[in-house]
Homo-oligomer: A and B are copies of this chain.
Amino acid sequence: MAITIKEIAEKANVSIATVSRALNDNKKVKSSTRKAILDIAKNLNYVPNAFARSLVKNDTKIIGLILPDLEGEFFTEIFRGVDEVAYSEGFHTIVASSHGQRSIAEAILNFMGESFVQGMIILIPVISEQIKEIIRRSSIPLIIINARNEINTVDSVGIDNYQGSYLMTEYLIKTLGYKKIAHIRGPLHNNDSLQRFKGYTDAMKNYGMECREDWIVNGSFNVFSGEQACRRLLSLKERPEVIFAANDMMAIGCYRAVKSFGLTIPDDIGLAGFDDIFIAEFLSPRLTTVHVPISDIGKTSAGVLLERIKNGNGRDSRHIKISTGLVIKESCRKRV
């Protein structure tokens, strides 16, 4: 058994209340007794029982982070951002993921329940009706990352996929002079990929470019699907001049496909990605992509959540969009 304030109280010949006060820096404790108590506590290697404290204060100092998976850079960065802010405010972060196995995040949502954490940040690509229901019932503050604003009653934080995608497409057209621009989409049901797709088509239309159907291929955000999609594009009678992949992982697949066709980036075909993952800079040639400040998403989410936890449900729900920016490297080049 760990040591408790009761034992300290005995050793110090005071009541447990005084010990509690001294430990909590309450001003009205004679400094001599305070010092005595603190000394004993240190000596005994005392650590307060967080659970007991939480029980009475109804304040656990823990927030939950729900992730669909624990793999890849995206997750790490989100977590890092969340934890950094949470930690600096004295909160701990518990992560729960579906681990691929088990019933999905829904179980976890329920599991983390209303009693363990003081708030939750939820990152789920697709929000089912069941999850919506759980969210609606929640009695603790919630933040949703990256979802389309399907649920207007909770705060959300997301990246401005549309803007990033529009920007990139515009850059390919206006600055580099590309005309034949293909797009490899992400999963059809995924919000990110939908918005990125729309940014692409809108920019194409606005600049009077032809949005050929066979230049739009579906992928699933992983390397393999990017490779496949790229093969398809390279096999067309009329090849595009540049491929804009909806994320960097698929762009990596394109490097492989292009190589296997004996072609060169960017001379034979240009390539652009989206996400600016760590690896992007080490590909050869380096990948032109859209920078997504992932850890900022985590930081912002945590910030909004903690504010809610502190100030209650007073204000209206906020929907924050985080801007992206272009990262210009050598995988695309000016058309002459």
Contact = CB atoms under 8 A, between A and B. Distances in A.
Contacts of A48: 113, 115
Interface residues of A, number: 48
A141 to B, nearest CB: 14
22 contacts: A2-B115, A2-B139, A48-B113, A50-B113, A50-B116, A51-B115, A52-B55, A70-B76, A70-B80, A71-B80, A72-B76, A73-B73, A73-B76, A79-B95, A87-B96, A87-B99, A95-B95, A223-B282, A255-B284, A282-B283, A283-B284, A284-B284
The 10 closest A-B pairs by CB, nearest first: A47-B113, A70-B80, A49-B115, A51-B51, A76-B76, A51-B54, A50-B116, A2-B114, A51-B55, A279-B279
Contacts of A124: none
Contacts of A110: 47
A94 interface: yes
Nearest to A137: B45
Interface string A258-270: 0100000000000
A295 to B, nearest CB: 9
Contacts of A228: none
Contacts of A70: 76, 79-80, 83
A94 B97 contact: no
Contacts of A169: none
A62 to B, nearest CB: 8
A241 interface: no
Contact of A92 (B71, B79, B94): B94
